[in-house]
Amino acid sequence: METKVFSIKGEELRSVTLNDAVFNREVSDGSIYNAINNEAANRRVGTASTKTRGEVNYSNSKPYKQKGTGNARAGDKKSPIWVGGGTIFGPKPRDYSYTIPKKMKRLAMKSLLSLSVSEERLVVVENFTIENGRTKDLAVIVNTFVTDKKRTVLILKDDDVMMRRAAKNIPYLRVLSYDKLSAKELLYGRKLLMLEGAAMNLNEFFGDK
C-alpha cells in the first residue's frame, strides 16, 4: 500500500510503500488483548506484603486465662482473630510477569499498526532529529501534526538519545523505537507519528515472519 510522507512543516513530500503484511492486514483482537494484558502484568511491582501471626511484633501472652471465663480458649494475641494479630492468606511479594508466544506478540503489533492505518491515526514524517535535545524544537514539529495535544506516539528508526531527551517534558508524547513497540501505546495513542526510516525498518522487521 502507498502512503504519503510529510515534511516536519506538514508539507507533502512524496509517497512511500508500506508492507501490506504489516500495515494492511486483518486485525486480530485476541492477540491485541493478550499483548496488552502481558505488558500490564510485566509492569506490576508485586511488592504487596502482609504479616502472618508468626511475623507480627506483638505479645506472646494469652488474652485471658484458659479456664473459668466461659469463652473459647485462645492461644495468644497474635492470632488473626484479634486486633493487631496476623493476617490469614494475605498477599506476599511475587512476580506477576509472564511471557506470551513471539508469534502472538508480533501478530498483535502488526494488527495494531494496521488498525492505526485504517483509523487514519498514522502519519509518516521525514527523518529528523533534535541535535540539541531541546523540548521546544521538538514541540514545534509535533504540534504541526497534533493540534489538540492528546496522547501521541513518536516511532523512531533507532534509539535516538537526544530525541528522547527532548520528548521528556512533553506530557502527551510517548517515544518508541521501531523494534521496541508497546501494544498499549499503539492502541491508545490518538496520533502515531512515524519516521520514514522507522516505516522502512518495520516493513522488514515484521514482514513475512
Could you write out the three-class secondary structure of 40-62? HHHHCCCCCCCCCCCCCCCCCCC
Tally of domains within the chain: 1
- Asked if residue 44 is part of any domain, the answer here is no
What is the extent of the structural domain holding 122?
2-29+100-205
The Cα–Cα gap between 44 and 18 comes to: 35
- Asked if residue 25 is part of any domain, the answer here is yes
- Asked if residue 75 is part of any domain, the answer here is no
DSSP code of residue 81: T
pLDDT of residue 15: 86
CATH number of the domain bearing residue 162: 3.40.1370.10
- Asked if residue 143 is part of any domain, the answer here is yes
Q: Residue 59: what are its φ and ψ, rounded to 5°?
A: -70, 145
Reported pTM: 0.82
The Cα–Cα gap between 104 and 28 comes to: 9
- Asked if residue 79 is part of any domain, the answer here is no
pLDDT of residue 209: 53
pLDDT of residue 208: 64
- Asked if residue 80 is part of any domain, the answer here is no
Per residue of the chain (209 residues), give pLDDT as tens: 888 888 888 888 888 888 888 898 899 999 999 999 999 999 999 999 999 999 998 888 888 899 999 999 988 889 998 888 999 999 999 999 999 999 999 999 999 999 999 988 999 999 888 888 889 989 999 988 988 888 999 999 888 888 999 999 899 999 999 889 999 999 999 999 999 999 998 888 887 65
pLDDT of residue 88: 93
Quick one: which H or E segment has residue 72? none
DSSP code of residue 179: T
- Asked if residue 39 is part of any domain, the answer here is no
- Asked if residue 15 is part of any domain, the answer here is yes
